[in-house]
């Protein structure tokens, strides 16, 4: 794999991080979303720089590569993206115990998904590889369950407009996150239907959508909900 894709990834992610910060809200109650979303491509830029220099790239016995920097990036950035959604579902509600509980549960499942995916990538005995792949999918299903069921109920209870913004954000996230196991399955770490450069380019495009495009989309939905929504304050009397 030549370094071009990785250097392009580094450039887009660094500029994306700056653009998200520059255009994002700097005032409460949405300032933390700007910070969370700007940090995600910043971390990815670091990972792409490492990959461009071959740092953390493991070439296995069968000649295929596992990019450790990519898994390290995902294990930090995906919890940040999920934290943004948990905080949105509980927007301005002071239920710290519940927020903490959901944050812990969703981050544990998510990190397990990434770590078991890495183990699957490294395993060379097929039955072991697919066992870990399936286990990673189980953790992924747990993440989606929390996003679509209990957390969505919380967001909708907070008010119709906030609920709608939350639902749009998780719908976008679900579609783009689904592509990751598909590309893994088709790529050199899985069934080897697509080669390494194709999978690197595909993941680059997906990463830009999941991190940078998503940040703008999510912020636009949240800002609109807070502007339009008297209903987002339905529960203020409970908060006060
Ligand atoms: C793996 C492999 C095994 C099965 C599953 C996976 C899921 C990965 C996902 C990654 C999302 C990454 C994002 C990064 C950008 O910030 C580990 C590929 C289920 C969902 C969104």
Q: 62-102, pLDDT tens digit by residue?
A: 899 999 999 999 999 999 999 999 999 999 888 889 999 99
Distances (CA, A) of 21 to 26, 84, 201, 228: 9, 15, 26, 23
| CB crowding 206-239: b at 16 or more within 10 Å, else e | bbbebbbebbeebbebbeebbeebeebbebeeee
Q: What residue owns the CA closest to ligand 1's atom 7?
A: 181
**pLDDT, position 102:** 97
Is the model's pLDDT at 232 over the cut of 80? Answer: no
Boundaries of every domain in the chain: 4-229
Q: 17-55, pLDDT tens digit by residue?
A: 999 999 999 999 999 999 999 999 999 999 999 999 999
The length of the chain, given as a count of residues: 240
User: How far, in Å, is the centroid of ligand 1 from the Cα of 181?
Assistant: 6
State the architecture of 4-229 in CATH terms.
Answer: Up-down Bundle (1.20)
The structure tokens listed for 232 are: 């987002």
Q: Which atom of ligand 1 is nearest to the CA of 207?
A: 15
Q: Which atom of ligand 1 is nearest to the CA of 44?
A: 16
Q: Which atom of ligand 1 is nearest to the CA of 139?
A: 19
Is the model's pLDDT at 235 over the cut of 50? Answer: no
């Amino acid at each position: 794999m030549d370094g071009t894709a990785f250097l392009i990834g580094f450039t887009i992610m660094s500029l994306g991080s700056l653009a998200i910060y520059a255009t994002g809200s700097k005032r409460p109650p949405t300032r933390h979303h700007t910070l969370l979303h700007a940090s995600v491509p910043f971390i990815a830029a670091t990972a792409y720089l490492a990959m461009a220099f071959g740092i953390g790239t493991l070439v296995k016995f069968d000649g295929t590569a596992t990019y450790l920097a990519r898994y390290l990036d995902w294990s930090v950035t995906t919890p940040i993206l999920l934290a943004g959604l948990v905080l949105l579902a509980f927007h301005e509600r002071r239920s710290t115990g519940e927020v903490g509980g959901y944050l812990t549960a969703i981050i544990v499942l998510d990190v397990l998904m990434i770590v078991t995916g890495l183990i699957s990538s490294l395993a060379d005995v097929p039955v072991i590889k697919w066992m870990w792949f399936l286990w990673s999918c189980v953790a992924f299903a747990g993440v989606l369950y929390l996003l679509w069921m209990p957390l969505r109920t919380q967001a909708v209870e907070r008010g119709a407009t906030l609920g709608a913004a939350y639902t749009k954000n998780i719908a976008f996230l679900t579609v783009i996150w689904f592509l990751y196991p598909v590309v893994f399955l088709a790529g050199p770490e899985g069934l080897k239907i697509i080669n390494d450069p194709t999978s690197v380019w595909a993941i680059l495009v997906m990463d830009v959508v999941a991190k940078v495009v998503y940040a703008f989309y999510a912020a636009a939905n949240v800002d609109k909900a807070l502007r339009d929504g008297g209903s987002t304050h339905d529960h203020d009397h409970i908060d006060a």
